[in-house]
Amino acid sequence: MIRAKLAPRALAAAVAAGCPAAALAESGWSQLNMPVGVTDISRKIYDLHMTIFWVCVAIAVVVFGAMIWSIFAYRKSKGAIPDATLVHNTKVEFIWTVVPVFILIAMAVPAARVLVEIEDTTKTELAIKVTGFQWGWNYDYLDQGVSYYSRLDRKSDAARELLSGVDPNTVPHYLLNVDHPLVVPVDTKVRVLITGADVIHSWWVPAFGVKKDAIPGFVNEAWFKVDADKPGLYRGQCAELCGRDHGFMPIVVDVRSKADFAAWLKEKAAEQKQAAAAPAQRRAPAAAPAVSPPDPGAAPASPAESTPAVVASAARSTAS
Ligand SMILES: [Cu+2]
């Protein structure tokens, strides 16, 4: 009885804690399975997952079926006598070795095919460096001169404080919203170069089928290409336990039409160019302002936000 009452609550809590909002919108059995996603790769991963799942179901039915049937058909009460002279049978052993080998090969072929495709970062149209920080993400649009920091939105941040007095249920997308989402265009092969600045994080957006560790000193790469008819907001989270505020560094990707994205990028680049030039002009009004692409440790788009450098130094002081 107690279990019956607790189960839906536990499931709801697990879903609220771990699943992106897209999954929350769905209900029923679909919540128990992985999302199909909005990219070609995510659909291929889903199909592969379902293929392997049904292979496992078929194996389970055959193995457990034979086992249960044997237990019932040859039970002691029916007068079954154990065969004490059982010796190994080379033919049977050969069969139960060869059959699983073929099953594994049959599963490895489609799995390898999808894996090769996941790793194929050639012919990408846009490259973005993603740097994980304690606790947020920095996005660098390589070659476009746009770089900014993305962190938990202020409303969630205020509500999560102990004794904040704010009911989290009143906060839209509680703990799954950010101040500055990653903006990308639809129908464009986007390559993400993922690294970490302090500890290991993991950039995970289930709807794209992308989950890559952000490791300091290494650059991991992944790519996604969102379907042309699927612009929208897609949510993810850090998927590597990275410290105290690991649960408070969500990811939001704002997928826009190509025209919208181009306009946004132009505006953002101009804004950042102006911000970078302003202090230089104040220092040396006669000299031409030297504008260089912002480096990942530099100030983010909004000066009000915590800079990666500040966050990193705060992390160091916390750790020491
Ligand atoms: Cu984390």
Centre of ligand 1 from the C-alpha of residue 163, in Å: 24
Tokens of 231: 């612009």
Supply 124's token pair. Answer: 């990408």
Which string of b and e fits 61-96 if b means at least 16 CB within 10 Å? eeeeeeeeeeeeeeeeeeeeeeeeeeeeeeeeeeee
Prediction pTM value: 0.73
Cα of 121 from ligand 1 centre, angstroms: 25
| 187 compared with 309, residue with greater pLDDT | 187
> Does the structure show a pLDDT above 70 at 104?
yes
> SS3 of 85, please?
coil
Q: How far is the CA of 243 from the centre of ligand 1 (A)?
A: 7
What DSSP character marks residue 33?
A: S
Query: What is the Cα–Cα distance from 58 to 47, expressed in whole angstroms?
Result: 16
CATH T-level topology, domain 40-119: Helix Hairpins (1.10.287)
Residue 199 CA to ligand 1 center (angstroms) comes to 9
Tell me, in angstroms, the distance from the centre of ligand 1 to residue 250's CA: 9
Instruction: Mark 178-190 as b/e (b = at least 16 C-beta within 10 Å).
Output: bbbbbbbbbebbb
The maximal CA–CA distance of the chain, rounded, in angstroms, is 105
**Fold: same for 40-119 and 126-282+290-319:** no
CATH of the structural domain 126-282+290-319, one choice from 2.60.40.1930, 3.40.50.920, 2.40.50.100, 2.60.40.420: 2.60.40.420
3-state secondary structure 157-194: HHHHCCCCCCCHHHCCCCCCCECCCEEEECCCCEEEEE
Is the bond preceding residue 69 a cis peptide, omega within 30 degrees?
no
CA distance 181 to 31: 25
Residue 155 CA to ligand 1 centre (angstroms): 20
For residue 132, report the distance from its CA to the centre of ligand 1, in Å: 8
| pLDDT tens sequence across 56-72 | 999 999 999 999 999 99
Kindly give the distance from the C-alpha atom of residue 270 to the centroid of ligand 1, in angstroms, as a whole number: 32
Find the 136 Cα to ligand 1 centroid distance in Å.
9
Reported confidence tier of residue 278, pLDDT bands at 50, 70, 90: confident
Tell me how far the alpha carbon of residue 224 lies from the centroid of ligand 1, in angstroms: 21
Q: Spell out the domain ranges in the chain.
A: 2-32, 40-119, 126-282+290-319
188 Cα–ligand 1 center, Å: 28
